[in-house]
């Protein structure tokens, strides 16, 4: 079950494709953090990939940290292995941290079910938005930029007008053993 809007976001510390680690508590005191459940192979992720990267880059100038987390089982989906993640991040030159949740514990703590699925965490560490990046996989059809609207609200000290939307995408590929392989 996902944390409810207003709940404290679950913490994490995960390895990243740049050879480091990322932890949610690193961003404490910042105005907002975006946590997205992500992967390499999903056509929905690919449809939103450029827009999401643009959002990460634009809002980083406003102090927002962005982390994408791949929790897919690399045994059943080798295209989502850590090595493949490193290659994808290098190829796309992501403007956000790309981390692996091999144990799938972080995805379970967030109640994540899909890729992409985003959470906006406010400066107090509470979930302010959960759901889709926007309302259309086709960039020309976007009418409501949910993630941008949520970030603008949080950065402006307001509650997002739309705090939850359904996430649209592929399901997370859970490991049979629950251990990521």
* Domain at 81, CATH number: 3.40.30.10
Q: Give the list of residues 6+ apart from residue 83 with CB closer than 8 angstroms, or none.
A: none
Q: Please indicate, yes or no, if residue 22 is contained in any of the structural domains.
A: no
Q: Assess if residue 115 is contained within a domain.
A: yes
Paired tokens of 64: 């927002």
Residue 21 lies in a domain: no
pLDDT digits (tens, 9 = 90+) for 70-117: 999 999 999 999 999 999 999 999 999 999 999 999 999 999 999 999
- Whether the per-residue pLDDT at 181 is higher than 90: the answer is no
Cβ neighbours, 10 Å, residue 139: 12
- Residue 47 pLDDT: 96
Residue 137 lies in a domain: yes
Q: Pick the closest to residue 105 from 42, 168, 13, 43 (CA basis).
A: 13
Checking if the pLDDT of 155 tops 90, the result is: yes
Q: Using DSSP, state whether 153 is helix, strand or coil.
A: helix
Please check whether residue 170 is in contact with residue 73, taking contact to mean a CB–CB distance below 8 angstroms. Answer: no
Per-residue b/e over 72-93, b at no fewer than 16 CB within 10 Å?
A: bbbeebeebbbebbbebbeeee
SS3 88: helix
**Four-CA torsion 112, 26, 12, 125, nearest 10 degrees:** -50
114, 37 Cβ separation under 8 angstroms: yes
User: What average pLDDT does this structure show over 13-20?
Assistant: 98
pLDDT in tens, 169-180: 999 999 986 544
pLDDT tens digit string along 18-72? 999 999 999 999 999 999 999 999 999 999 999 999 999 999 999 999 999 999 9
Strand partners, 170: 115
Strands 97-100 and 170-171: unpaired
Residue 180 pLDDT: 46
In a domain? residue 165: yes
pTM more than 0.85: yes
Flag whether 26 is in a domain. no
Q: How confident is the model at residue 165 (pLDDT cuts 50, 70, 90)?
A: very high
Half-sphere exposure of 54 (CA within 13 A, CB side): 10
Q: How many domains does the chain have?
A: 1
Residue 103: domain span: 31-171
Identify whether 138 is part of a domain.
Answer: yes
Spatial neighbors of 86 by CB under 8 A, at least 6 apart, are 17
Q: Is residue 18 part of a domain?
A: no
CB 143 within 8 A of CB 157: no
Q: Is the bond preceding 3 in cis, omega lying within 30 degrees of 0?
A: no
* pLDDT the model gives residue 1: 73
């Amino acid at each position: 079950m996902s944390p409810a809007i207003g709940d404290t976001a679950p913490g994490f510390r995960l390895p990243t494709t740049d050879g480091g680690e990322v932890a949610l508590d690193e961003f404490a005191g910042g105005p907002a953090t975006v946590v997205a459940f992500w992967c390499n192979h999903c056509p929905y992720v690919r449809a939103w990939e450029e827009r999401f990267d643009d959002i990460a880059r634009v809002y980083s100038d406003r102090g927002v940290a962005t982390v994408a987390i791949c929790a897919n089982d690399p045994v059943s989906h080798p295209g989502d292995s850590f090595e493949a993640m490193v290659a994808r991040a290098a190829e796309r030159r992501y403007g956000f941290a790309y981390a692996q949740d091999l144990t799938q514990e972080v995805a379970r703590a967030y109640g994540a079910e899909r890729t992409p699925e985003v959470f906006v965490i406010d400066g107090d560490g509470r979930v302010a938005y959960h759901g889709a990046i926007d309302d259309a996989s086709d960039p020309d059809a976007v009418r409501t930029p949910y993630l941008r609207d949520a970030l603008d609200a949080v950065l402006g000290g307001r509650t997002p007008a739309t705090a939850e939307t359904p996430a649209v995408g592929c399901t997370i590929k859970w490991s049979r053993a629950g251990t990521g392989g």
